Amino acid sequence: MADGCLGPYFCKPPKPSPIPLFLLQIPKLPLHFPSKPMAAHCHCISNPRPYQPSLLVFSGGTAFNGVVEELKKLTVRVAHVLPVSDDGGSTAEIVRVLGGPAVGDIRSRCLRLADQSTSEALAVRRLLGHRLPINPQQAKSEWYEVVEGEHSLWEGVSKPYRETIRSFLAYFQNEDGTIVRGQNEISHPAYGSIGPVDKGRSSVPALPSRIKRVFYMSSEGTNSLHEVFPTVNPAVLDQLSNVDCIVYAMGSLFTSLCPSLVLLGIGEVISSRSCPKVLLLNGTHDRETSGFSASSFVIAITDALNRTYGDSHNCLKHFPSQYINTLLVPKDGEIPIDDQILRSQGIFDVVIVDSIRDPKVGIIFDPVSLINALGNVVSRYMRTKD
């Protein structure tokens, strides 16, 4: 089995950024974003309806985004916990130029949580969510149109706001004009060796061996002897101690979920809670989980939270059922549901949820059905509290 190292971005304070983005000023890991107003055009509903359940969701920046809008109908009391270990794509270039943690997943989630109440808010969201073409010449031409304020994406954005955003873009313009398409070496290897990678349902070959564990390593290190232990954001621990439900979202198991779960303190708090702890199972295999069954996902999450293969002084010995007590499974998904092993792990609540087939990634949860199922799980728990 292979260890998966998350690289150097967690071991030193980030370089001071000349760009006043609040997302880059949070010093603890993983980053924690409650769903309440944070900054102009970056919030969801500001007046939550009473008696809504509180949730904490561990996720990456892509797979769970598809259900964020639907989740708002169940509750807006949601804490989103995202790792900063994604070093692929445009995020790789931002880290190369500015240093500090990777912000791609955070950007993606904030766009999903952004205000949509005015036409200008929608215009800004459309602008900041735009991706340049993959063709270098087309990308360069379109970039210049955006920086010069001549692109149609600026329609609906007021002049003061436009000039504020343009000043940030102009700063990037004066750094380096190179276009980079880096890919995460675990889930999306560098295209130079195997060709461009579709970050949807990738045809990249499976890893040569299963990932044994994910850990943080110093920037000068080369192996597990140089492991470091970043401090978890205390707000995450506070939320974990009080929410009505903990959710492990679908997505990249080792590069999206585990970076948050291996931090000291996370396993301790989750294992102490008696609330619903729900795993949203993937609908398809990916490069990280080729050959996995449902119980394999449970084992990987348990090992991450127990820090099973790390320093023995930091290891826990909790059972899988102390971390996961409910599985939501997309109907007709690729991941085998090995009920007998799940029961031996102490997991008896397995719920099949309606699914849809996405042409890019295969089977995924139907968002409405998923949130309804999650709401039912939380409702059962809330009734037992009353």
Per-residue pLDDT of the chain (386 residues; tens, 9 = 90+): 555 444 333 333 333 333 222 222 223 444 444 443 333 333 333 344 457 899 999 987 678 888 988 998 899 899 998 887 666 666 776 676 666 667 777 777 877 787 777 888 888 888 888 888 888 888 888 888 888 888 999 998 888 888 888 887 776 666 744 322 223 455 555 544 444 444 445 556 777 778 888 888 887 777 777 888 888 989 999 999 999 999 999 998 988 899 999 999 999 999 999 999 999 999 999 988 999 999 999 999 999 999 998 888 889 999 999 999 999 999 999 999 999 999 999 999 999 999 999 998 899 999 999 999 999 999 999 888 76
pLDDT score at 50: 56
pLDDT score at 203: 56
33-64 in b/e form (b: 16+ CB < 10 A) is bbbbebeebbbbeeebeeeebbbbbbbbbbbb
pLDDT score at 372: 95
pLDDT score at 107: 76
pLDDT score at 188: 55
Q: Which CATH number fits domain 52-88+223-385: 3.40.640.10, 3.30.70.100, 3.30.70.260, 3.40.50.10680?
A: 3.40.50.10680
Q: What is the pTM of this model?
A: 0.71
CA–CA distance from 138 to each of 128, 143, 179, 249 (Å)?
18, 8, 11, 35
Instruction: Tell me the domain boundaries of the chain.
Output: 52-88+223-385, 100-176
Pair type for strands 355-358 and 362-365: antiparallel
